[in-house]
Structure 1
Amino acid sequence: MEPSTAAPHRIDPAGGCPHAANARLLARGTAARVLLPGEIEGAVVLGHEDLKEFLAHPDVAKDARHFTALQEGRIPVGWPLATFATVRGMTTADGDDHRRLRSLVSRAFTVRRVEELRPRIEELTDSLLDGLAAAAAADGGAADLRRHFALPLPMGVISELLGVDAELRDRLHHLTSQVVATDISPEDAVAANRELVEVLAAVAAAKAEHPGDDLTSALIAARDEDGDRLRHDELIGTLILMIIAGHETTLNLVTNAVRALCAHRDQLALVRQGRASWDDVVEETLRFDAPVSYFPFRYPVRDLTVGTTLIPRGTPVLAGYSAAGRDRAAHGPDADRFDVTRPRRPDAVRTLSLGHGPHYCLGAPLARLEAGIALGRLFTRFPDLRLAVAEEHLTRPASFVGNSVRVLPVRLAA
């Protein structure tokens, strides 16, 4: 086990596959001290049980007023992770503020509301599959599944929910990709954040002038009914959160599931034989290859010991979702194996990849629905779908927050 005095692990800002480093760290303990970009001292919680407890711990906060280095002025302008700390919204609020902000959005993500989206998701999926087939036919039988399918599906759904025009979606994806990048220059980080705020402020202004049947208009109406309920910075912060979480997670989830099924044709066969469902594929992908690897930030409000690692008060802590998913102490000695028939844990918490506790992802039911529909219709229409390049040749985004690949070239026919 790792003593609390062990040298901190330097997280590579360029990202890359997290699983080898996670295994080394987990062999030493369920939490670790880390160095974040800019030599900022932080920590990561890696073990499933300890992460589950940490995510719901009463002495762990989300508000950056508890972030010691930030409050002491040691975080430079353009720090690549600054948005995760400073954006105003649900992900950086505690207590009554968090409940207030979450309640304004939660009505759009009830099980009933999400299920009502099923016909539209199915319609959009089928249309995108037509586009994927056309792209492959135009390029010798291969096409980028992320660009033509895994990205526009969740981006289309969340944009329609928010009332964002179609012509803005590619730009918003580009900007949010820069916001979550951890290997980016300060100048580019500042520029991306500024433009993202400007774009979403323009969306909000347009909705204020011409309200529609969308969530942005509903949030503005709630703010206008009671000025104390939602400030302008909270409105923009909420839109930023929903654009990022509303498409990046599902984009990576679908991409990682396709990669896993192409590498494990026996598991795909189990689904086709009815011995497992597409929901099982989604759950196992969330565990096996979490769409978010290290999610920033939480801050202990007092010194906490996690496992054998002391995490001082005010330390920025990452939630190590990709590590927890392969924690052998929680998932057994075969935790590194992709198995869609894996039995559910007795505590019913098979994966923490969409969070736990008060900040559990509001969009989790939507992400699961989108991914299940997408995968089922994709492999039904293209049963011989395969990767067009070897897994080792797939490149990773310049971020240790998200966990996936930049492009996913596939061949739709054998």
Structure 2
Amino acid sequence: MTEPAPIVLDPLGQNIHAESARIRRRGPVTRVELPGGVLAWSVTGCSAARRLLADPRVSRDAYQHWPAFINGEIPPDWPLITWVASRSITNAYGQEHARLRKLLADGFTGRRVALMRPSVEKATADLLDRLAQVPRGEVVDLRAQFAHPLPARVICDLLGVPDRLRPAAGRLIDLVAYGAASPGTAGASAADWRRLATELVTEKQREPGEDVITDLITVRADDGSRLSEDELESTVLTLLRAGHLTVLELISNAVAALLIHPDQLHLVQEGQAGWDDVVEETLRADSPVEHLPLHYAVADMELDGVRIAQGDPILISFGAAGRDPDLHGATAEEFDVTRATKQHLAFGHGYHYCIGAPLGRMQATTALAALFTRFPSLSLAVPAADLEPTATFMLNGHRTLPVHLTGAP
């Protein structure tokens, strides 16, 4: 039997959920084509994805385990190059990953997250005060004026990014995530990222502070080793990007879901569900991260009857896993804050489970509770069908989130 042609992914992610459902119909493991003609195995089933993420035969290290990258077949301006070429914790493998994770752990302990809560509440209140000054009836882009600046401020505070570098950091985060559709743009943004990282590290070496970048500069492993300059800069950039984008999309997606489904918002406002329920159901049904390229087979392996050869790239669909009907049944596509089981992979699983997950959850619950307390009559200013998706297949969100703060005029 002839193998069907790979499904070509839409690089602009114009209908991510429909595309993932189409891929799933081919089976839990099937071929897809990434930008630049790169072929990969797409994994949409939650069970298969969990097994892969916990399997030591699966790596994220392109330098060790992706032959096409090692052999120079992947050009330096490939649109996804900044995602696969980083030498940070995100892409480390085996003992190297364990070493980096241990060095980073102190920056994201439960105690540190708890200590961050007052500053998150303050940042949230400041943004809501600013929104309260908007004239009644005026349309507000809640993504740009609330969901975007809140996690940007929190992650910059946590890392110790100086005020003068914060605008540049924000622009680069947006460019890498949403504007790297063309090879030329991808190459330029990668170079700008590295310059920003160098400047941040240099400044903290000169003027250390009570922040994560300073901690990363000074921390030592059990054997006395420190992060290399490349590891340090890559880790800083990874934390900036992941700490901002995932929370931005989580807050924005949660607000959109509640406004599109006012019956669900009513359940929360009446105390029949909590903000934790909203966050978990958003992570399941509208995961901020749809795909996070890439994983690679360290050895030949079989997954659900499909043979994956050593060195083959694998694209795990974190968003599709949350909507897997084999796990969540016929209502898997529906947003339901009272759902008994909200299992998802939005923060990953296994070796690479996101160390920032507690901070992300805390920001989202804090922001949502405060937002709907301050503006209980919040409503969409456009029909739900007119909300435009962000221009990427990796992240799931909307370009804008136009709302009326106190109901339609």
The verdict on a shared fold, with TM-score over 0.5 as the criterion, is: yes
SS at match of 1:21: helix
Distance in 2 (CA, whole Å) between partners of 1:180 and 1:80 is 10
**Who is 2:296 aligned against?**
299
What's the % identity of the aligned pairs?
Answer: 45
Letter in 2 for 1:193: A
**Who is 2:108 aligned against?**
109
Q: CA deviation at 1:180?
A: 2.9
Structure 1 residues 224 and 33: CA distance shift in structure 2, 3 A: closer
Distance in 2 (CA, whole Å) between partners of 1:127 and 1:212 is 24
Q: CA deviation at 1:179?
A: 2.0
**Who is 1:119 aligned against?**
118
**Who is 1:312 aligned against?**
309
Distance in 2 (CA, whole Å) between partners of 1:227 and 1:86 is 26
CA contact (8 A) 1:141 1:413 kept: no
Distance in 2 (CA, whole Å) between partners of 1:148 and 1:308 is 48
Distance in 2 (CA, whole Å) between partners of 1:304 and 1:244 is 32
**Who is 2:255 aligned against?**
258
**Who is 2:140 aligned against?**
143
**Aligned length in residues:** 406
Structure 1 residues 213 and 226: CA distance shift in structure 2, 3 A: farther
**Who is 2:397 aligned against?**
404
Work out whether 1:324 is the aligned partner of 2:321: yes
Work out whether 1:100 is the aligned partner of 2:93: no
CA contact (8 A) 1:33 1:44 kept: yes
CA contact (8 A) 2:107 2:215 kept: no
Letter in 1 for 2:347: L
Distance in 1 (CA, whole Å) between partners of 2:140 and 2:306 is 46
Q: CA deviation at 1:305?
A: 2.6
Q: CA deviation at 1:21?
A: 1.4
**Who is 2:373 aligned against?**
380
CA contact (8 A) 2:124 2:150 kept: yes
C-alpha distance after superposition, 1:198-242 (max 9, x if no partner)? 112111101101111111111111269987321000001001110
C-alpha distance after superposition, 1:44-100 (max 9, x if no partner)? 210011111111112101111201211122111210111121111101111221111
SS at match of 1:42: strand
Q: CA deviation at 1:106?
A: 1.1
C-alpha distance after superposition, 1:172-210 (max 9, x if no partner)? 122122223475222221111111111121111011011
Distance in 2 (CA, whole Å) between partners of 1:219 and 1:77 is 28
CA contact (8 A) 1:13 1:182 kept: no
**Who is 1:184 aligned against?**
181
**Who is 2:243 aligned against?**
246
CA contact (8 A) 1:13 1:399 kept: yes
Instruction: State which drifts further: 219-228 or 245-254.
Output: 219-228
Instruction: State which drifts further: 208-217 or 103-112.
Output: 103-112
Q: Which runs of 4+ in 1 moved over 3 A?
A: 223-228
CA contact (8 A) 1:250 1:370 kept: yes
Distance in 1 (CA, whole Å) between partners of 2:20 and 2:196 is 37
Structure 2: which 5+ runs fail to align? Answer: none
Q: CA deviation at 1:156?
A: 0.6
CA contact (8 A) 1:4 1:309 kept: no
Structure 1 residues 51 and 182: CA distance shift in structure 2, 3 A: farther
SS at match of 2:41: strand
Distance in 1 (CA, whole Å) between partners of 2:181 and 2:396 is 17
Instruction: State which drifts further: 401-410 or 227-236.
Output: 227-236
2:359 is aligned, of 358, 366, 380, to 366
Distance in 1 (CA, whole Å) between partners of 2:212 and 2:2 is 46
**Who is 1:85 aligned against?**
84
Distance in 1 (CA, whole Å) between partners of 2:235 and 2:131 is 32
Instruction: State which drifts further: 67-76 or 156-165.
Output: 67-76
CA contact (8 A) 2:180 2:186 kept: no
Q: CA deviation at 1:142?
A: 1.4
Distance in 1 (CA, whole Å) between partners of 2:89 and 2:48 is 23
Distance in 1 (CA, whole Å) between partners of 2:278 and 2:186 is 35
| Residues 202-217 of structure 1 aligned to structure 2 (within 5 Å) | 202-217=199-214
**Who is 1:280 aligned against?**
277
Structure 1 residues 181 and 227: CA distance shift in structure 2, 3 A: farther
Structure 1 residues 178 and 4: CA distance shift in structure 2, 3 A: farther
C-alpha distance after superposition, 1:228-277 (max 9, x if no partner)? 32100000100111001101000000000011000111111111111110
**Who is 1:355 aligned against?**
348
**Who is 1:233 aligned against?**
230
Letter in 1 for 2:341: R
C-alpha distance after superposition, 1:266-323 (max 9, x if no partner)? 1111111111100000000000010001111110112223224332221221220111
Q: CA deviation at 1:4?
A: 9.1
Distance in 1 (CA, whole Å) between partners of 2:388 and 2:171 is 17
1:49 is aligned, of 44, 47, 50, to 47
**Who is 1:198 aligned against?**
195
Structure 1 residues 391 and 278: CA distance shift in structure 2, 3 A: same
Q: CA deviation at 1:132?
A: 2.1
SS at match of 1:90: coil
Q: Cα RMSD (Å) of the superposition?
A: 1.8
Q: CA deviation at 1:398?
A: 2.1
CA contact (8 A) 2:297 2:311 kept: yes
CA contact (8 A) 2:103 2:220 kept: no
Letter in 2 for 1:291: P
